[in-house]
Structure 1
Amino acid sequence: MAFTGSDILKIILAIFVPPLGVFIERGCNADFFINILLTILGYIPGIIHALYIILKY
């Protein structure tokens, strides 16, 4: 799997601001709102979900 420059930027954003990384990857849809909820409930689940979304798509 080769990462582009934008993928690396999205991964960095996902670590510091998980919903922003998901928003850039998928837009304003259910994944974005799920990630906001997970980030509010616990920062680590938000990061894991954001990385999953970025690496999946």
Structure 2
Amino acid sequence: MNKVILILLAIFLAPIAVLIKSGVGKDLLINIILCLLFYFPGMIHALWVVTK
């Protein structure tokens, strides 16, 4: 998938971007927990996963 689209998804729909990039696993679980607590840390985590 195009990296620009993944970055946009990471900003607006963080768990979806992590799911597409790394599948179901620990990264997705961490991201969902971060998004439930506060959205901003979840977004930062998603950007990190997408760009690494």
**TM-score (normalised: structure 2):** 0.95
**How far 1:17 sits from its partner (Å)?**
0.7
Q: Percent identity?
A: 44
Please state if 1:16 is matched with 2:22.
no
Q: Which amino acid is 1:24 matched to?
A: I
> What's the C-alpha RMSD, in Å, of the aligned pairs?
1.0
- Identify unmatched segments of 5+ residues in structure 1: none
Q: Structure 2: how far apart are the matches of 1:35 and 1:6?
A: 21
Structure with greater contact order relative to length (CA < 8 Å, sep ≥ 6): 2
Query: Structure 1: which 4+ aligned runs deviate by more than 2 Å?
Result: none
Residue of structure 1 in register with 2:48 after alignment: 52
- Structure 1: distance between partners of 2:36 and 2:8: 19
If you compute each CA radius of gyration, which structure gives the higher value, 1 or 2?
Answer: 1
1:32 is the counterpart of 2:28: yes
